[in-house]
Amino acid sequence: MANIDFLDKSPPEFPAVNLALKDPDGLLAVGGDLNPEWLTEAYNKGIFPWFNSDEQEILWWSPSERAIIYPGEMHVSGSLRKVLRKKLFSVSFDESFDQVIDNCSIRNEKSEATWITGRMKTAYKQMHSIGIAHSVEVKLNEKLVGGLYGVSLGKMFFGESMFSRVSNASKIALYFLQERLVDWKFNLIDCQIMNPHLKSLGAINMPREHFVDLVEKNSIITTQKGNWTSLD
């Protein structure tokens, strides 16, 4: 693969993000590891892993634009507000992380592939075990029907994936996540790559240079590790 750095297993060391390819947009490096040291270093530099198979080398990305949502600025439609007022769903944090990531990894009807491979699930479950990765669970009649997971570092939440088995469930997860992050004075929710669904929820694109600058400033803020189940 031309003009792409191949990374050794240790220590975690990434090239400058401005060296990322324009086509495909943001591809920066290949190889390395998915342990917590590597993943934390990546997020603190505005980089994330994304690949399609456990047989494939790890691909690291830093796209030219980053989809983000400022906590408190999620777009809540009138129909979603009606659903929230009915209080049909229960919402929890970090109670079923493994179930959430397993549900996020299930292939949907529109795609035969999923980027949440076995290695990725193992890596983020390990991140959860040390209090850095977190989940939001949405239940209906005590059954898990939606949720999301991601990584919390400093005052930024790096969203990874969400799922919904009934209408609005993933939106409800994001709504309650942003409400908690507002209370905790978080600065940003990283959504990685824009799509129509994220745009409808209020996500905007931020140039990579601005995003990386914010991430680097965020990296010096102490991360509050631990389970979010009982935190206020």
End position of a domain, from candidates 63, 89, 105: 63
DSSP H helices, the chain, are 36-43, 78-86, 97-104, 118-129, 169-183, 196-200, 208-218
In a shared domain, residues 115 and 211? yes
End position of a domain, from candidates 38, 63, 88: 63
In a shared domain, residues 25 and 105? no
Stretch 173-188: mean pLDDT, rounded? 97
Which structural domain range is residue 22 located in?
5-63
The pLDDT tens digits of the residues spanning 108-138 come to 544 444 678 899 999 999 999 999 999 999 9
In a shared domain, residues 116 and 58? no
Stretch 170-199: mean pLDDT, rounded? 96
The pLDDT tens digits of the residues spanning 208-220 come to 999 999 999 999 9
Q: Is residue 223 part of a domain?
A: no
In a shared domain, residues 43 and 137? no
> How many domains is the chain built from?
2
Q: Is residue 227 part of a domain?
A: no
Using N-to-C axis directions, what is the helix angle for 118-129 and 36-43, rounded to 10°?
Answer: 90
Least confident among 5-19, 152-166, 180-194: 5-19
In a shared domain, residues 126 and 166? yes
